[in-house]
Amino acid sequence: MPGRPRRGALGLRGRIVGAVLVTTVATLAVAALAVLGPLEHELRTEATTSLKNDLGKKELSQFKRIEPSLLLLLAVPSPPNTEPFRQAQVVRQELLSLRIELADKVGVTPTLVNLLGYPDRAGNGHVIPVPLDNDLIQPDTYGDATESFLTGRAVYGFGSINGTEYARAAVPVATADTGQRFVLAVRKPIEDIPAAVHVVRTAFLYAAAAGLALTLVLGIPLAATLVRRLRLLSQAALRVAQAGPGAEVPLDRARDEVGDLVRAFAIMERRLQHQEEARRAFVATASHELRTPLTSLEGMLELLDQDLRDQDPDLDDARALLERARAQSRRLGRLAGDLLDLSRIDAEVQLRSEPVELGELSRAVIAEFELGSTERGVTMKLEDGAGAVWATCDPGSVARILRILLENAVRITPAGAEIRVAVRNGTRAVLSVSDDGPGVPREERELIFERFQRGRLTGGQAGFGLGLAIGRELAQRMAGELVLEENPAPGATFTLTLPAARAPKSEAVVVG
């Protein structure tokens, strides 16, 4: 017996929990990357846009109206008590006022608003601050101011100075005929952006921790329950494999896939048990039924042999023995034929599908039973007043079903009674067989259509319990149905319904 396959190191429970944890971590990581990066970028962009809006044309025009030559007086110190010195002081006061006004509008301290100059048009040398308060931010290199000086365009961006994040703006404000240029540099702290990002990042960390904890709290018991249920089902399968159908199967009422699997397994086990019981019943019945004709056949052949060996054989007795032997041989042949039909049905051998006229087929099959029914004093009548009845089916299978019904009817119908075969049209083609026998008890109406099951009211003429099962399965293979009609009168009526068909040009019928 092959050993069980080795279980993985983690097992199903570990793999389920691990997969859930990995999925949770991956989901949170992707969410963090998808939110934190764009959030920080959006906040920075908003800060830049806000600073740009604050530095409107009106505010910048206040700086640009100052004469460039006066700005040069501030950039290049003059001796005290001279006219250029006094003019520089006036310009200085005006710039300080504009600086404070702009700082208030932007929302920063005045020290973050500075006017810068450069020694030549190429921007060579160091930045020369216009001496307002001599309070330039250190160690700000004012690289954006240099770019603005060289390009003549406003430059907006971000920068970190001494660990503090700033939104930066560098705007050219004046151009002198001498080639000197000046740039207004504004720095606005945005420490609220890193703080906001930090808050969101912290929230994500807490959410990740809570998610992982919740996953463990819910995932581990769920995985354990799932594994336990599957283990019970596995143990039940092993019991069925070892002990056969009838072993105990766990009951699982959960409305999920595992519950459906357990219930399906229980249904399969019950069907296997039912089939096993039917098989055992068939083996017992077949053993009895086979033993009886074989024993009788052997005994009759021995008697026949003795009669024929006698110098004066009793030919009449020999003929009687021969006829009885033939009857037993036919009975064994019917059993072999039933078993062959079942094997073909189980193998799902393809059936033919063609138009068949049920009236002509019925006449041909009834003719096969005329001799045997006459000997038993039973008459057969075909009721086909409705005209030609065409069905789409396999003619051989329909003939086999009709033979089964007529054999049963002849076997149980008393002498002097009548067996009626009727065909009629409708939405479906119908073929029915009625007899005047003892009928079928209500509790056996479906039982008799199962394999190896026989009715009780057969007058000792029962077969092997295969005929009606074969008939119903053949009918279903042809998209039809074989049923026992509700009939309060004595006897029974079996009805075969088949898909209706149009009459073809050639009405030749081939009977299998």
Measured distance CA(369)–CA(410) in Å, rounded: 9
Answer with the residue of higher pLDDT: 417 or 272.
417
pLDDT higher than 80, residue 239: no
Task: Judge if the upstream peptide bond of residue 488 is cis by omega within 30 degrees of 0.
Answer: no
Domain end (from 169, 190, 211): 190
Residue at 236 is within a domain: no
Count Cβ neighbours within 10 Å for each residue of 288-319 and write b for 16 or more, e otherwise.
ebeeebeeebeebeebbeebeeeeeeeeeebe
Mean pLDDT of 378-402: 89
338 and 360 together in one domain:
no
Q: Are residues 374 and 300 in the same domain?
A: no
The reply to whether 446 and 473 lie within a common domain is yes
What is the predicted pLDDT for the residue at 74? 61
- Model confidence at 69, in pLDDT bands (50, 70, 90)? low
Q: Quick check: 419 pLDDT over 70?
A: yes
Would residue 38 count as lying in a domain? Answer: no
In the chain, what percentage of residues exceed pLDDT 70?
75
Is 94 a domain residue?
yes
- Range with the poorest average pLDDT among 29-33, 91-95, 176-180, 182-186: 176-180
Residues 360, 337, single domain; the answer is no
User: Distances from the Cα of 347 to the Cαs of 350, 394, 396, 470, in angstroms?
Assistant: 9, 17, 17, 13
**Taking residues 439-451, what's their average pLDDT?**
83
Rounded to the nearest 10°, the torsion over CA 147, 149, 151, 156 is 50
Q: State which of 56-65, 183-192, 310-319 shows the largest mean pLDDT.
A: 183-192
Per-residue confidence band for 11, with pLDDT thresholds at 50, 70 and 90: low
435 and 463 housed in the same domain: yes
pLDDT of residue 2: 45
Confidence of residue 230 (pLDDT cuts 50, 70, 90): confident
Residue finishing a domain among 328, 345, 362: 345
The pLDDT value given to residue 126 = 42
Q: Report the pLDDT value the prediction gives residue 22, as an integer from 0 to 100.
A: 76
Residue 5's pLDDT band (cuts 50, 70, 90): very low
Q: What is the largest CA-CA distance in the chain?
A: 175
Q: Is 246 a member of any domain?
A: no
Lowest mean pLDDT among 112-116, 131-135, 188-192, 301-305: 131-135
Closest by CA to 328, choosing from 290, 278, 288, is: 290
pLDDT greater than 90 at residue 109: no
Burial 405-443 (b: 16+ CB within 10 A, else e): bbebbbbbbeeebebbbbbbeeebbbbbbbbbbbbbeee
Is the domain of 363 the same as that of 337?
Answer: no
The mean pLDDT value of the chain amounts to: 76
Pick the residue with more confidence: 397 or 124?
397
What is the tally of structural domains in the chain? 3
Please state which of the ranges 12-21, 70-79, 150-159 shows the lowest mean pLDDT: 70-79
- Read off the pLDDT band of 178 (50, 70, 90): very low
Same domain, 293 and 408: no
Phi and psi based region of residue 364 (left: phi greater than 0; alpha: psi -120 to 50; beta: remaining): alpha
Q: What CATH code is carried by the domain that includes residue 159?
A: 3.30.450
Q: What is the CATH number of the domain that holds 268?
A: 1.10.287.130
Long-range contacts of 500-504 (CB under 8 A, 24+ apart): 500/390, 500/391, 500/392, 500/425, 500/426, 500/427, 500/428, 500/429, 501/355, 501/356, 501/390, 501/391, 501/392, 501/429, 502/355, 502/390, 503/355, 503/357, 503/388, 503/390, 504/355
> Crossing angle for the helix pair 11-54 and 192-243, nearest 10 degrees?
160
- Tell me the pLDDT band of 398, cut-offs 50, 70 and 90: very high
Residue 100 pLDDT > 60, yes or no?
yes
Mean pLDDT lowest for which of 64-73, 146-155, 212-221, 371-380? 64-73
Confidence band of 490 (pLDDT split at 50, 70, 90): confident
Confidence of residue 136 (pLDDT cuts 50, 70, 90): low
71-91: average pLDDT: 69
Helices (H), 107-165: 143-151
Q: Are residues 383 and 483 in the same domain?
A: yes
Residue 392 lies in a domain: yes
Cα(386)–Cα(402) distance, rounded to whole angstroms? 19
More confident residue, 102 or 28: 102
Residue 76 · residue 68 · CB < 8 Å: no
- The answer to whether the beta carbons of residues 377 and 415 sit under 8 Å apart is yes
Asked if the structure places residue 73 within a domain, the reply is yes
The residue out of 140, 173, 190 marking a domain boundary is 190
Question: Which amino acid, 503?
Answer: A
Number of other residues whose CB lies within 10 A of the CB of residue 330: 11
**3-class secondary structure for 19-44?**
HHHHHHHHHHHHHHHHHHHHHHHHHH
Token digits of residue 357: 């006229």
Question: Does 474 lie in the same domain as 359?
Answer: yes
Between 68 and 343, the higher pLDDT residue:
343
- The string of pLDDT tens digits covering residues 241-273 is 777 776 677 777 777 777 777 788 788 878 777
Q: Which residues of 351-370 are buried (b: 16+ CB within 10 A; e: fewer)?
A: eeeebbbbbbbbeebbeebe
- DSSP sequence for 323-341: HHHHHHHHHHHHHHHHHHH
Task: Identify whether residues 321 and 446 lie together within a single domain.
Answer: no
pLDDT, position 377: 85
**Token digits of residue 196:** 């906001």
Instruction: Name which of 446, 437, 485, 490 is nearest 469 in CA terms.
Output: 446
pLDDT: is 234 or 492 the higher one? 492
Q: Is the pLDDT at 3 greater than 50, yes or no?
A: no
If asked whether residues 313 and 404 sit together in one domain, one would say no
Asked if the model's pLDDT at residue 437 lies above 80, the reply is: yes
pLDDT band at residue 125 under the 50/70/90 scheme: very low
Q: 158 pairs with which residues across the strands?
A: 167
- Structural domain contains residue 151: yes
Q: What is the mean predicted confidence (pLDDT) over 70-83?
A: 66
User: Rounded to an integer, what distance in angstroms lies between the CA atom of residue 7 and that of residue 393?
Assistant: 53
Alpha-carbon gap, residue 484 to 472, rounded angstroms: 11
Residue type, 230: L
Task: Determine the 3-state secondary structure of 225 from DSSP.
Answer: helix
Statement to judge: residues 302 and 394 lie in one domain: no
Host domain of residue 449: 352-499
Q: What tens digit of pLDDT does each residue of 322-367 get?
A: 787 877 777 777 777 777 777 677 777 788 899 999 999 999 999 9
Residue 499 phi, psi (nearest 5):
-60, 135
CATH number of the structural domain spanning residue 414: 3.30.565.10
Kindly state whether residue 13 falls inside one of the protein's structural domains: no
CB within 8 Å of 286: residues ≥ 6 apart: 335, 464
